[in-house]
Amino acid sequence: MSQIITVHSYRGGTGKSSTAANLALLLAASGRRVALVDTDIHTPALDVIFDGSVEQVRRRSLTDYLIGRCEIEDAVYPADGDWGHDGFFLVPARSRTAAAAEILGRGYDVGLLREGFDRLIDSLALDVLLLDTHAGFNNETVTAMASSDDLVVVTRADRLDLAGARETVALAERLGGVGLTVAVNMAPGGVVQERLHAEVERVYDTPVSAVLPYAPEMALLAGERLFCTAYPHHPLVAGYRRIIAEVSNGTTGLRR
């Protein structure tokens, strides 16, 4: 049994990729076999977050697979031993030789994405395939969402981020069979948090699964470590765990 989880945000700057990375590592720490795929070909972030955890000169990537330069299995890299978990794999969006302009110029068969996801699950015997997406909607994002059992939407509780909520919910409804989990990130404390929490639930028309507090400690890390390894008992990490519990208990959560 395996599960595909997509992490999405309508706008950039919500902490989506950081959330995806921490979720993946926590899932791997629980003993599950996990692959984290960066499907954001245009503006990848996982390369920076996991800098040094894969080979310094990456030979292949998701982009290389999509343009026919390699098989998807060639783009998989076991996470560095420093992360402390076997069965944790990364698929970077681009290699040093595969630029965004190349795939934009050549194009690719979108069906290869879904085929690649299925092959990763089979070849790596995965429990969870976690997909980090580009903010907003493009071919890669929509394909990732359509392939998913569960969609985790990361948003901030401000009107700019909430402006695209209806589009996200409408797309999830059209796809059908996708469990929707909403997480409010970088939330302020106190009464303001409670008011904005209610506003998010009203706009998305679904309960908020986790409120992830603003954590100044995140800036102190300067991207050198993942938050869940540096501050395992922080309320932010507790929020990540609530997201995992939500998608793990969802009725759409497992596929054969």
3-state DSSP assignment of residue 255: strand
Cβ atoms of 195 and 202 closer than 8 Å: no
Q: Is the pLDDT of residue 255 over 80?
A: no
Query: Using one digit for the tens of pLDDT, what is the confidence trace for 61-111?
Result: 999 999 898 999 999 998 765 555 678 999 999 876 656 677 777 778 888
Q: Is the pLDDT of residue 251 over 50?
A: no
Which of these, 136, 138, 145, lies nearest to 114 by C-alpha position? 145
Give the model's pLDDT for residue 5: 97
- Average pLDDT (108-121) is 93
Give the model's pLDDT for residue 188: 81
CATH class for domain 3-248? alpha beta
* Mean pLDDT for all residues in the chain: 85
Q: Is the pLDDT of residue 119 over 90?
A: yes
Give the model's pLDDT for residue 35: 96
Strand blocks (E) in the chain: 3-8, 34-38, 77-78, 88-91, 128-132, 150-155, 179-187, 208-213
Give the model's pLDDT for residue 42: 86
Query: Using one digit for the tens of pLDDT, what is the confidence trace for 168-201?
Result: 888 888 888 889 999 999 988 765 667 777 888 8
Query: Using one digit for the tens of pLDDT, what is the confidence trace for 211-250?
Result: 899 999 988 886 678 999 999 999 999 999 999 999 986 5
Q: Which two tokens stand for residue 82?
A: 């420093």
Range from 47-51, 122-126, 129-133, 211-215 carrying the lowest mean pLDDT: 47-51
CA triplet 225, 16, 43: central angle to 5 degrees? 90
Q: Is the pLDDT of residue 40 over 70?
A: yes
Q: Is the pLDDT of residue 113 over 80?
A: yes
What's the pTM? Answer: 0.91
CA triplet 186, 227, 225: central angle to 5 degrees? 135
